[in-house]
Amino acid sequence: MIRFLFKGLLRDRSRTLLPFLTVAIGVLLTVFLECYITGAEHQIIDFNADLLTGQVKVMTKGYAAEPDSLPNDLSLDGVGTLLSELGTDFPNMAWTPRIRLGGLLDVPDEAGETKAQGTVLGTAAGILAPGNAEIRRLGLENTVVRGRLPEKRGEILIGEILADRLKLQPGGTATLIGSTMNGAMATANYTVSGIVRYGVRALDRTGLVMDLADAQAVLDMEDAAGEILGWRTNGPYERNLIEAVAARFNGRTEAGSGCDLAPVMKTLRDQSDLAALLDQFSTVRGAILTIFILAMSLVLWNAGLLGSLRRYGEIGVRLAMGEPKGGVYRAMLGEAVMVGVLGTVAGTALGLALSYYLQAHGINISGLMKNAAVMLPSHLYTRVTPVAYIIGFIPGLLSTLIGTAIAGRGIYKRSTASLFKELET
């Protein structure tokens, strides 16, 4: 019976082509949307983790209470020992110290007098360390638009808007004025090795990147750092695993002792209001997918109804020839299942192919971010998950089956007298 129905579908394309194409296109869009939204969510997590928060971050309790004010007087001390302990206790995590600092960048003229000044918010990371992992995390390879990356101590990178305002070019010198860990004034001269463009106005207007050792020297923070960031080395961010790491660390330290200098570990969700953002993002993601799937289900449902109504005369002939109503009804449901399965498989394959391509190559949106006020990556990538392989069956199979089932109810309402009257006409 199944073979007979399948041959009928292949030979009568006018009856099956439109439902098949409708199912395939609807499933393709559903699968692609699932992969696109999942990719965007993971990119927000990865972008913030690499640039600001890490998947986890170790700070002192006092620093964690007011991180936006950059309280380097409450920084971690004995960073070398703490890094060694973290590496021993959590061997599947990568750890790196950073310092966030604020101050003034002073540009002197030929006589050594101030020619221009600008406020800077800087990040000090191990950009001169072997392996250049921090260069990759901070995205510096693709953001230097003039000059080059720092190659030795005493070289810095600054934002493009800041450089234009201060009339600084690669090779120029500037003086950083700030305050040390102990509250004293700190000054040091640096060479601008390169100009960076993040595409985010806030960063390009005040951004500064320097090597960690330079920052430790000028701020009197030898063997100290404001933050130690951590990432999983054997997989992407997973909330449950990361929260288990933080809970284990905090359970072994004096985080609950009330001492402002006691180390405490915060997860990505505990920083920069990211918990609310990610929860809201997940809610919106679920709502968008639900609405889209329902809309596609309605479209495919209507396709099934139209296909059944178009065959009204055929069904009447089959009933008049003595075929049981239940048999006709089951045959229609079998055809709907076949069309739904074939269309879903084709749509899922096309959707996954497109998603895998964009997962590898991405979409460049840097042109849309010239005046962006928030920090977002310049490329958007999809991410294929196991859910993408099965989500298309919801609109592709169930909706065609339900549409045909409702349309086929008319079979049981038709009487023999009306059938012969139809055949006479």
Q: Over its length of 425 residues, how does the chain's per-residue pLDDT go in tens digits? A: 456 555 555 556 556 777 788 888 888 988 998 898 888 888 888 888 888 899 999 999 999 888 888 888 899 999 999 999 999 999 999 999 999 999 999 998 887 788 889 999 999 999 998 777 899 888 888 889 999 999 999 999 999 999 999 999 999 999 999 998 888 899 999 999 999 987 777 788 889 999 999 999 999 999 999 999 999 998 888 889 999 999 999 887 654 566 888 899 999 998 878 888 888 877 877 787 777 777 766 776 676 666 656 666 666 677 767 777 777 778 777 777 888 888 899 999 999 999 999 998 887 766 655 554 445 566 778 999 898 999 888 888 877 777 777 766 666 666 655 655 555 55
Three-state SS at 101: strand
Tokens of 46: 């990865």
The span from the first CA to the last CA of the chain, in angstroms, equals: 32
Q: State how far the Cα of 102 lies from the Cα of 210, in Å rounded to an integer.
A: 12
pLDDT on residue 235 = 81
Q: Which of 52, 73, 68 is nearest to 178 (CA)?
A: 73
**AA letter at 115:** K
Q: Count of alpha carbons within 13 Å of 402, Cβ hemisphere only? A: 15
The SS3 of residue 175 is: strand
The pair of structure tokens assigned to 305 is 């109804």
- Structural contact between residues 332 and 340, judged by C-beta atoms closer than 8 angstroms: no
Distances (CA, A) of 58 to 221, 228, 262, 263: 17, 5, 10, 6
| Residue linked to tokens 């919801």 | 394
Q: Supply the pLDDT for residue 374.
A: 47
> 233: helix, coil or strand?
coil
**Helix/strand/coil for 409:** helix
- Domains of the chain, by residue range, sit at 2-47+276-424, 56-236
pTM of the full structure: 0.75
pLDDT by residue (tens digit) across 262-300? 899 999 998 878 888 888 877 877 787 777 777 766 776
How many helices, marked H, and strands, marked E, lie in the chain?
16, 14
How many Cα atoms sit within 13 Å of 369 on the Cβ side? 19
Give Cα 395 distance to the centre of its chain: 25
